[in-house]
C-alpha cells in the first residue's frame, strides 16, 4: 500500500486518508459533456433506452440552477471533476480475482473479514465501478438477488426498468439529474415475497483518485412480506483538491415488507457529499433509515419515506457530526399520501471547532391521509463556543385529522458532568467522549454490534483534542 506524502500531511487524523497509485482501464477527461456520457454508456454496453435516459438527464442537469438554500456549494467546481474512472479488474465473484492494490485497500478496511463473519453478501465499489460483488449461496437458493446495478440491468431487464428512476427521477433535483446522466456502480437488490434475510447485506464505496466523482445508483426492491437490512460504508483519501460524491438510492418496500438501510458515511474532509435517498412504502410496509454522517466537507442528505398506502410506516434515525471546516446539512422527509400512515424522525447532531450542523426536514400530510401521524425530535450538542447548529423544520398539513409533533433541543456540554467524570479518573477528553457516546446511544443501539463499535470508535477519533 502506497501512501502519498502530500496526502498524509493533510489527513488531520483521518485514518482512511491513504491512496493507491492510479492504475485504470479507462479514465474520462475532466468535466461533464455529452461525449463523457456517451463514453460511459458505451463502456457498459447499455441498451439504447438507457443512453437516451442519460442524455435527457444531462439536459435536465444543465437546465437546473445550483441550489442556494442549503450548504455553501460555491467551492464545488464541476469542471474539475473526473466523472468516470474504470479500475482494472471489476465485478469479480471471487476475492482472488480482484486486483492486488484494490484487494489490499478493502482488506485494510476490513471488508473480506466482515463478509466471512457476519454478512449475507458484500459489494465493493472502487472509483466508478463495482470490483467485487458476492452473495452467500444460502440466499441465492431462496431467490435473493444481490448484484451490481449494471448486472441487474442486464440480467433482470424487465424488473429493473419497471422501477428504475420511478422514485427518484432526474427531474427531482440538480444532483439527481447529474447522477442519472453519469451513474456508475451501486447495487441491485431484490428480496422475493416472504423471504427474510436475517443478516445484513453490505456495500462499501471507496474513492481513490484525486478530483474524482462517484455516482453510484442503488435500486432495492423488497417484495411483499419480505425483510432485509442493507449497510453502506464509504471512505476516500484526503487531497488538497475536492472530490464529489452524488449517489441516488431508490427503495421499494411492498405490502407488509420491512427494510432497513444503514449508512456510516466517513468521507474525507475534501469531499462534497450530495445524495438523494428515497423509499416508496406500500400498505403496512415499514422503512427504516439509520443514517450516520461523520465525514465530508459538505453533506446535503435527507433520507425520505413516501408512505403511499394505508398503514405504511417510515422511520429515520440520523446523526451528524461536524468539525472544523465541515457543514453537515442532514435531515429527513416523511410524506404521507394515505390514511393511517405513521412516521418518526429522531435527529442528533454534534458540532465542534467552528463546525456547522443543520437539521433540515419535511413532514407533509396530503388531504385524505386520515389519521396520519409523525413525530420529530431534534437534539443538538455544541462542544465549544465556535460551533454552530441550525434547525429548519418544514411541516405542511392538508388533513384535519393529522397529528404532528415536533420538539428540538440545543445544549452545550456540561462542565459539571465533565468534572464529575474527571473525579472518577477520566481525562477531560475521555469524559467528553463518554458524554457524546451517551448522546448518540439511540442511533448506535440500532446498528449491528460491530458497526456500533465502529461508530463509537469514529466518534472518539473525531473527539480527540476537542475539549480543553
pLDDT in tens, 62-115: 999 999 999 999 999 999 999 998 877 655 566 677 667 666 766 766 665 665
How does the average pLDDT of the chain come out, rounded? Answer: 87
pLDDT at 356: 96
Q: Do the beta carbons of residue 124 and residue 93 sit within 8 Å?
A: no
Domain-by-domain residue ranges, the chain?
5-301, 415-468
Start-to-end CA span in the chain (Å): 36
Residue 287 has pLDDT above 80, yes or no: yes
pLDDT tens digits along 218-243: 999 999 999 999 988 776 556 667 89
229 φ, ψ (degrees, to nearest 5): -135, 130
Q: Do the beta carbons of residue 240 and residue 161 sit within 8 Å?
A: no
Ordered DSSP codes for 332-373: EEEEE-STT-EEEEEEEEEE-TT-EEEEEEEEEE-TT-TT-E
Q: What is the pTM of this model?
A: 0.89
What is the 3 state secondary structure string of 205-239? Answer: EECCCCCEEECCEEEEEECCCCEEEEEEEEECCCC
Q: Record the cell numbers describing residue 36, joined without a space.
A: 463523457
3-state secondary structure at position 3: coil
235 φ, ψ (degrees, to nearest 5): -145, 170
**Nearest to 109, CA basis, from 216, 201, 17, 5:** 17
Count Cβ atoms below 10 Å from residue 446 Cβ, excluding itself.
Answer: 16
Q: Give the residue ranges of DSSP H helices in 137-267.
A: 137-140, 149-155, 157-163, 174-182
Label the pairing between strands 85-87 and 24-27. Answer: antiparallel
Amino acid at each position: 500500500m502506497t501512501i502519498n506524502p502530500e496526502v498524509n500531511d493533510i489527513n488531520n487524523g483521518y485514518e482512511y486518508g491513504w491512496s493507491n497509485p492510479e492504475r485504470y482501464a479507462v479514465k474520462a477527461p475532466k468535466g461533464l459533456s455529452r461525449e463523457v456520457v456517451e463514453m460511459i454508456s458505451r463502456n457498459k454496453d447499455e441498451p439504447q433506452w438507457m443512453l437516451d435516459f442519460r442524455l435527457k438527464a444531462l439536459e435536465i442537469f444543465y437546465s437546473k440552477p445550483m441550489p442556494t438554500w442549503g450548504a455553501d456549494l460555491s467551492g464545488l467546481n464541476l469542471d474539475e471533476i473526473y466523472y468516470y474512472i474504470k479500475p482494472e479488474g471489476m465485478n469479480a465473484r471471487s476475492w482472488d480475482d480482484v486486483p492486488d492494490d484494490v484487494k489490499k485497500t478493502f482488506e485494510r478496511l476490513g471488508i473480506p473479514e466482515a463478509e466471512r463473519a457476519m454478512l449475507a453478501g458484500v459489494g465493493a465499489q472502487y472509483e466508478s465501478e463495482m470490483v467485487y460483488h458476492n452473495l452467500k449461496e444460502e440466499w441465492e437458493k431462496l431467490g435473493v438477488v444481490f448484484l451490481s446495478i449494471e448486472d441487474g440491468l442486464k440480467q433482470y431487464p424487465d424488473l429493473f426498468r419497471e422501477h428504475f428512476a420511478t422514485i427518484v427521477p432526474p427531474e427531482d433535483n440538480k444532483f439527481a439529474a447529474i447522477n442519472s446522466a453519469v451513474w456508475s456502480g451501486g447495487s441491485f437488490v431484490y428480496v422475493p415475497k416472504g423471504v427474510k434475510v436475517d443478516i445484513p447485506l453490505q456495500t462499501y464505496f471507496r474513492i481513490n483518485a484525486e478530483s474524482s466523482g462517484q455516482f453510484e445508483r442503488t435500486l432495492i426492491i423488497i417484495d411483499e412480506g419480505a425483510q432485509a437490512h442493507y449497510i453502506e460504508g464509504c471512505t476516500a483519501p484526503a487531497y488538497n483538491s475536492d472530490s464529489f460524491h452524488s449517489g441516488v438510492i431508490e427503495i421499494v418496500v411492498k405490502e407488509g415488507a420491512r427494510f432497513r438501510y444503514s449508512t456510516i458515511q466517513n468521507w474525507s474532509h475534501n469531499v462534497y457529499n450530495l445524495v438523494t435517498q428515497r423509499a416508496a412504502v406500500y400498505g403496512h410496509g415499514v422503512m427504516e433509515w439509520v443514517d450516520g454522517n461523520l465525514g465530508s466537507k459538505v453533506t446535503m442528505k435527507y433520507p425520505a419515506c413516501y408512505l403511499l398506502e394505508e398503514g405504511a410506516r417510515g422511520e429515520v434515525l440520523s446523526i451528524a457530526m461536524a468539525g472544523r471546516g465541515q457543514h453537515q446539512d442532514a435531515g429527513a422527509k416523511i410524506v404521507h399520501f394515505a390514511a393511517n400512515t405513521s412516521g418518526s424522525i429522531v435527529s442528533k447532531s454534534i458540532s465542534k471547532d467552528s463546525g456547522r450542523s443543520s437539521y433540515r426536514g419535511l413532514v407533509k400530510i396530503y388531504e385524505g391521509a386520515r389519521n396520519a401521524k409523525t413525530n420529530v425530535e431534534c437534539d443538538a450538542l455544541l462542544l465549544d463556543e465556535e460551533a454552530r447548529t441550525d434547525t429548519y423544520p418544514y411541516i405542511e398539513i392538508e388533513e384535519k385529522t393529522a397529528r404532528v409533533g415536533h420538539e428540538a433541543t440545543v445544549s452545550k456540554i456540561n462542565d459539571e458532568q465533565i468534572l464529575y467524570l474527571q473525579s472518577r479518573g477520566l481525562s477531560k477528553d475521555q469524559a467528553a467522549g463518554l458524554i457524546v457516546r451517551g448522546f448518540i446511544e439511540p442511533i448506535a443501539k440500532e446498528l449491528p454490534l460491530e458497526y456500533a463499535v465502529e461508530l463509537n470508535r469514529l466518534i472518539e477519533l473525531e473527539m480527540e483534542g476537542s475539549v480543553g
